[in-house]
């Protein structure tokens, strides 16, 4: 009798273990934008491919729209291991002590995505990820969003128009300096709070690629938008280094493949998503969309490019020059 109980006990323990061993490893992936954006779609794509390539051993749970963590909290949560993956905008790494990332925020430093990709896939991109490792964070990929437009309740065409406008920015000293260069008053604020701040007049305007502006309904509370393409906004997909290094090698390899595929996907859809969002903003009739003339854009560029020099001591002259070298940008030739 006793023996029978023992055998039954061992059997059920064995079954419980087998069931436990089949539990998927859960990776929480938190981000702050809507699901219907380049980052939202790419993170869902990653979740799907991670599940398929690991044959269900890994389950990626995506939390969009700041439902799990807001901007500042998510970085802390990653370091504490409360969340395993994030894709913060490159403008949000300064508070972590990785100021070099703010090179991507320099106004007018990239003319197009090809120039940008030369940097993210080249030596500078790798150097920035190496810097993150010293903070216990591993960079997995760079994902595109796109080029930013300005919005406000008045038309923003010349540098003069920005004077005294309270402009929401991400937590980047370069963006702060960019706004000050045209006499605006920068205000750092979490992405999740921007819509309400615009609606209630806490700030007058902001900047973002069209996909973010449209999916957060900012166009409903902004009368004007300027398609200035004055700066780039993209992401670094990051994970907790200890967590990543601790994964079984085969699973890690499968996740790396899923990430590579997701990066191709993200960078392929980003422009389409932003172009589509711009069309929807126009169709809404709620915001007047203005495309500056080449002369107006050049004047704005001349007003903002001095920020590059001003930010040398923060970002590193060498980092800025490496970007110039990769893209061919010459601030002396404006
Ligand atoms: C913002 O905070 O304006 C954006 O960077 C949000 C995002 O992640 O795209």
The reported pLDDT for the residue numbered 334 is: 84
Q: Where are the domains of the chain?
A: 22-329
The reported pLDDT for the residue numbered 88 is: 98
Secondary element (H or E) of residue 215? helix 210-215
The reported pLDDT for the residue numbered 7 is: 43
Distance (Å) from CA 24 to ligand 1 centroid: 31
The reported pLDDT for the residue numbered 332 is: 86
pLDDT in tens, the chain (334 residues): 444 544 444 444 444 444 445 799 999 999 999 999 999 999 999 999 999 999 999 999 999 999 999 998 999 999 999 999 999 999 999 999 999 999 999 999 999 999 999 999 999 999 999 999 999 999 999 999 999 999 999 999 999 999 999 999 999 999 999 999 999 999 999 999 999 999 999 999 999 999 999 999 999 999 999 999 999 999 999 999 999 999 999 999 999 999 999 999 999 999 999 999 999 999 999 999 999 999 999 999 999 999 999 999 999 999 999 999 999 999 988 8
Strand pairing category for 149-152 and 224-226: antiparallel
The strand order across the sheet containing 25-30 reads 58-63, 25-30, 85-86, 232-240, 137-147
Distance (Å) from CA 84 to ligand 1 centroid: 19
Q: In this structure, are residues 152 and 164 in contact, taking their beta carbons and an 8 Å threshold?
A: no
Q: Which ligand 1 atom is nearest residue 37's CA?
A: 9
The reported pLDDT for the residue numbered 157 is: 96
The reported pLDDT for the residue numbered 1 is: 40
Q: Which ligand 1 atom is nearest residue 145's CA?
A: 9
Q: Which CATH code for domain 22-329? A: 3.40.190.170
Cβ(33) to ligand 1 under 6 A? yes
The reported pLDDT for the residue numbered 21 is: 57
Rounded-to-integer distance, Cα 232 and Cα 216, Å = 19
Q: In this structure, are residues 198 and 233 in contact, taking their beta carbons and an 8 Å threshold?
A: no
Cβ(32) to ligand 1 under 6 A? yes
**Chain Cα centroid distance, residue 179:** 20
The reported pLDDT for the residue numbered 167 is: 98
Secondary element (H or E) of residue 206? strand 206-208
The residue among 101, 116, 193 whose CA lies nearest residue 148 is: 116
Q: Which ligand 1 atom is nearest residue 233's CA?
A: 5
């Amino acid at each position: 009798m006793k023996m029978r109980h023992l055998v039954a006990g061992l059997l059920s323990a064995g079954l419980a273990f087998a069931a436990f061993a089949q539990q998927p490893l859960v990776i929480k992936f938190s981000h702050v934008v809507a699901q219907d954006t380049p980052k939202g779609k790419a993170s869902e794509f990653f979740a799907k491919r991670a599940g398929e390539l690991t044959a269900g051993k890994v389950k990626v749970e995506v939390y969009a729209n700041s439902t799990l963590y807001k901007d500042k909290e998510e970085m802390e949560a990653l370091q504490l291991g409360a969340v395993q993956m994030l894709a913060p905008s490159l403008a949000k790494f300064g508070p972590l002590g990785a100021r070099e990332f703010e090179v991507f925020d320099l106004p007018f430093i990239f003319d197009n995505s090809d120039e940008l990709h030369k940097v993210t896939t080249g030596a500078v991109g790798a150097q920035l990820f190496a810097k993150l490792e010293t903070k216990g964070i591993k960079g997995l990929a760079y994902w595109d969003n796109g080029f930013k437009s300005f919005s406000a309740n008045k038309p923003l065409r010349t540098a003069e128009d920005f004077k005294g406008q309270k402009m929401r920015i991400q937590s980047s000293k370069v963006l702060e300096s960019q706004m000050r260069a045209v006499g605006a008053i920068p205000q750092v604020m979490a992405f999740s709070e921007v819509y309400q701040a615009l609606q209630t007049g806490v700030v007058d305007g902001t900047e973002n690629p069209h996909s973010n502006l449209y999916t957060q309904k900012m166009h409903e509370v902004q009368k004007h938008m300027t398609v200035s393409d004055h700066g780039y906004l993209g992401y670094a997909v990051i994970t907790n280094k200890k967590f990543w290094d601790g994964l079984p090698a085969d699973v890690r390899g499968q996740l790396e493949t899923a990430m590579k595929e997701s990066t191709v996907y993200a960078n392929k859809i980003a422009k389409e998503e932003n172009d589509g969002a711009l069309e929807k903003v126009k169709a809404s009739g709620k915001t007047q969309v203005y495309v500056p003339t080449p002369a107006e854009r050049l004047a704005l560029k001349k007003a903002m490019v001095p920020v590059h020099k001003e930010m040398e001591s923060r970002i590193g002259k060498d980092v800025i020059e490496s970007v110039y070298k990769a893209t061919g940008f010459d601030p002396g030739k404006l």
